[in-house]
Every structure is written in structure tokens, then in C-alpha cells.
Amino acid sequence: MENINLEQIDLIMQRANVSYTEAKEALEQSNGDIVEALLYLEKANKIKTAPCSKGEGFKAFISKLNATQFQLHKKEHVYVDAPLSIAILALILCCPFSIIGLVIALIYGIRINIKGENNIAQKVNAAFDSFQK
């Protein structure tokens, strides 16, 4: 059996979010091979997801909103091009005016488009396209 050192145990503990005992046992079962130890823990369903703080989830949500663009356009002319987070904030703070503005935009054939790298943008665009036809 290969000597198991503290660095290996720490690495397994960090990667799999397991206790010292579980990490040591996995390394012993895999003769000190880190990859095999991780596979052992995975097969035994002992790998736990790291707890996520509420702030991290909120920051990730805001960064996704900022990476997604809200656009109002008609043919080549773009009237509004802003991050989705700003558009939602404007909608909330100026709700009656925002809704009236969006209805007027739809009446005059101005298209609403959400651009982003996620499937939510595609779903929203599909909904807007079906509504605007």
C-alpha cells in the first residue's frame, strides 16, 4: 500500500466535500490514487455539493441578467439596448409607464428581443414572437 499523505487527503476533502475519514478511506481503497478515490466516492454516492451561500447565488443571477440584453427594435433601427437587469428594474420602478410604453411599442410594430447565451432568452423570444404576430 502506498503512503497516503495529508495533501492527498485535503485534496479529496476539497474536491468531494467529504470528511477526513471518508477521504482517507477512499484513498486507502484506491491505493493512494486520487482519481480512483474520487471514483470510489462517486460510486458510493458520498460526494456532496459544496454549500452555496445566498450571496453567491444572487450574484450569479445578477451576472446572468447583466449578460443578457433587452432590445426594442424595428427593422435596422434599435430604440433600446440595455442589460436585462436594467430593463427589469425600470419595469418595476416605473410599472404603469413601462407597460403603456411596451403596449404602444407593440402596436407600432416595434419588436422586443432578448439576446443572451441562455435558454431563457430563447424561450422569452419565442413567446414575444408568437404574441407579436
pTM over the 0.75 mark: no
Which has the higher per-residue pLDDT, 123 or 94? 94
Q: What is the pLDDT of residues 73-108, one digit of tens each?
A: 888 899 989 998 898 898 899 989 988 988 888 888
Which has the higher per-residue pLDDT, 114 or 122? 114
Rounded average pLDDT over 110-118:
83
Q: Grid coordinates representing 113? A: 428581443
8 A C-beta contact, residue 37 and residue 30: yes
Q: What angle (nearest 5°) sits at the alpha carbon of residue 38, between those of residues 3 and 23?
A: 55
Question: What does the pLDDT read at residue 51?
Answer: 61
HSE-CB of 82 using CA atoms within 13 angstroms: 11
Q: Return all residues near 74 (Cβ < 8 A) that are at least 6 apart.
A: 108, 109, 110, 111
